[in-house]
Amino acid sequence: MRLSGLVKHILGLGFVAVVTLGAAESVPQDEKARQLGANAAAELQRVLKEELTAALQAGGPGQAIRVCSQKALLLTRDIPQKMELPAMTIKRTSLRWRNEMNRPDAFEEKILTDLEARVKAEAPMEPVLLLQNKAYHYFEPIRTGGLCLTCHGSEEKMPENVRNALNALYPGDRARGYGAGDFRGVIHVTIPQEVLAEP
């Protein structure tokens, strides 16, 4: 999709777009990248929340865990296609990952470590945008909400069937013991510069 068409698509999804139809070319590349990253992250969080809420209502936490293990990665990978930007990639990652496929690489680990240090210093946490290797990298911080705590909260308060399901599916699980509002990780959106250069 050309960038002007993408803006129409974003507006149709109900997202706030900084890029306007009449002045797309006048907006700096980094601002276009920041907006695309924010929109992709918001869409991913919306889709995952919708799926998990439906699973919880249909079959409780056990069903939600199965959705996470079977569908979360596929739903994540579908976001660039939904936005008609197949060159873009998106990933959820954390220093305390659950699924080995979400383990951070060295670049992501550095960003996560820096953000965690900001949390400990009680400094404001904002999304990060960096240009590296001809691509923009947008990092949207994730904090735990009420829905997250069902499977990521305190081990002591976790129902036994949930704990058993997690142990079976994720033997190397590091993603427990969170409280409401804790820094959980990031959504990392990679946007090649050539995508932003399209008129």
Q: Count CB atoms within 10 A of the CB of residue 27.
A: 18
186 Cβ contact list (under 8 Å, min separation 6): 92, 93, 94, 108, 111, 112, 115, 128, 139, 140, 141, 142
Give the model confidence (pLDDT) of 66-117 as tens digits.
888 889 999 999 999 999 999 999 999 999 999 999 999 999 999 999 999 9
- pLDDT value of residue 197: 80
Model confidence at 26, pLDDT cuts 50, 70, 90, reads low
Three-class DSSP labels, 161-191: HHHHHHHHHCCCCCCCCCCCCCEEEEEEEEE
Give the model confidence (pLDDT) of 155-182 as tens digits.
888 888 889 999 999 989 999 999 999 9
- Prediction pTM value: 0.83
Q: What percent of the chain has pLDDT over 90?
A: 64
